Amino acid sequence: MCYCFAGCVDWRRRVKFYIETYGCSRNQADSEAIAGALAEEHEQVAEAEEADIVVVNTCIVKTPTENKVLKALKKYSDKKLIVAGCMPAAQLDKVKEAAPGCEVWGVGCEEDLASPRIRTNPIVSIIPISSGCLGECSYCCVRFARGKLKSYSPEKIVGAVEKSVSEGCKEIWITAQDTGAYGKDIGTSLPALLEKICEVSGDFRVRIGMMNPNHAVKMLPSLVKALQNEKMFKFLHLPVQSGSNEVLKKMNRYYTVSEYKEIIEFVRKEIPQIMIATDVITGFPGETDAQFEETVELMKAIEPDIINVSRYGARPGTPAAEMEQHQEIVKKERSREMVRVMKEIGLKRKREWLDWEGEVMIETLGSKNDYIARNFAYQPVILKGKHELGDKVNVKISNATENYLLP
């Protein structure tokens, strides 16, 4: 990343810094790059109270997240504060109102994939493959901050993978606003990139970040072939947002429900145990009861392993914000119903793994002195006992919740 370390603190002396991150894995990758750049001459601390300077890496994708960010900016406004990420790039006035004396870094410039990182998880490397996107979703304000698609070169990305693996990383997370759009501006494609990544020597697996269905449907055979490589997690995050074609048109989503079903059916036929994650927005402007039921029925038909439910919230400057809005009670009721469906489907899908035996890798420390491990399909397994990150353990699944598998 390109950042100017000037203005709000004397960088000539060694200072203590703290980074607080909001939003997606792309933002997390940016924070790790910021930490890597600062840590060459300064010290990162775990608590804001200990820091000479606080960096808040912001997100504006949802109203609740934006509110948390603004609360944080006000909280740290009496410190030497740097604000990075999407909010200063798209909503600078809100940043300056919350923290008038802050320094602004925005989203930076083109990612330097070779720059040092301070990773949140030492065995997980988050590698951005592009910035911006090709979409014009009517509800999204992130595109105002990140702009149009700019894919990074395959050589730089593969180099970053090689470096990460040499540093002990066991998981490579490929991230972007829309991984499916990768390469369309530089004459290549996501499957071609994944093939090159999987040629890197070493013991690691690759997880693909979110991709939009309009890109996935056009490269299905090559995408599935890439996913079948033993180094790829059998995992696909494919947001549908609505099960109504009419609503999808209002959202500017560029695909149909039948195309979405085609993707799921083809992928599951070729990779039966693949984990499918999707996103759903409830209460979009103009969504009727019948259209909401179409989404419910679609979820019941395709049974995704993960359904990320978002209650629609108008974002400033977006076309959807100018549409007639639902009352909050309608959005809340639909959100509750979708969460109920999500839990029901999630438990059913997890129970399909009962009696499965195989190898899992310890990925991260859990919340109750336990560990979260992952199998080949990125299914999360809760493990007790003493382990190290990156350890591999053989397990037999005997129980399941809607979110986890249990030996």
CA distances (Å), origin 320, targets 65, 142, 165, 315: 18, 14, 43, 8
> Residue type for 292, please?
F
pTM score of the predicted model? 0.92
CA distances (Å), origin 235, targets 278, 304, 310: 11, 11, 21
Question: Based on the domain organization, do 228 and 309 belong to the same domain?
Answer: no
Residue 3 within any structural domain of the chain: no
Question: Based on the domain organization, do 373 and 332 belong to the same domain?
Answer: no
Check whether 108 has a pLDDT greater than 90.
Answer: no
Check whether 140 has a pLDDT greater than 90.
Answer: yes
DSSP H helical segments within 303-392, as ranges?
328-351
CA atoms of 291 and 53, how far apart (whole Å): 49
Count Cβ atoms below 10 Å from residue 41 Cβ, excluding itself. Answer: 12
Count Cβ atoms below 10 Å from residue 192 Cβ, excluding itself. Answer: 16
CA atoms of 70 and 96, how far apart (whole Å): 10
Question: Based on the domain organization, do 201 and 131 belong to the same domain?
Answer: yes
CA atoms of 205 and 224, how far apart (whole Å): 16
What is the predicted pLDDT for the residue at 2? 46
Question: Based on the domain organization, do 259 and 345 belong to the same domain?
Answer: yes
Question: Based on the domain organization, do 258 and 322 belong to the same domain?
Answer: yes
CA atoms of 274 and 164, how far apart (whole Å): 25
Residue 7 within any structural domain of the chain: no
Check whether 38 has a pLDDT greater than 80.
Answer: yes
Question: Based on the domain organization, do 371 and 334 belong to the same domain?
Answer: no
Q: What is the CATH number of the domain that holds 264?
A: 3.30.750.200
* Count of domains forming the chain: 4
Mean pLDDT of 252-273: 98
Q: What band does 13 get if pLDDT is binned at 50, 70 and 90?
A: low
Alpha-carbon dihedral of residues 162, 165, 171, 175, nearest 10 degrees? -30
Residue 190 structural domain: 121-232
Q: What is the CATH number of the domain that holds 364?
A: 2.40.50.140
Question: Based on the domain organization, do 44 and 142 belong to the same domain?
Answer: no
> Residue type for 63, please?
T
Question: Based on the domain organization, do 90 and 168 belong to the same domain?
Answer: no
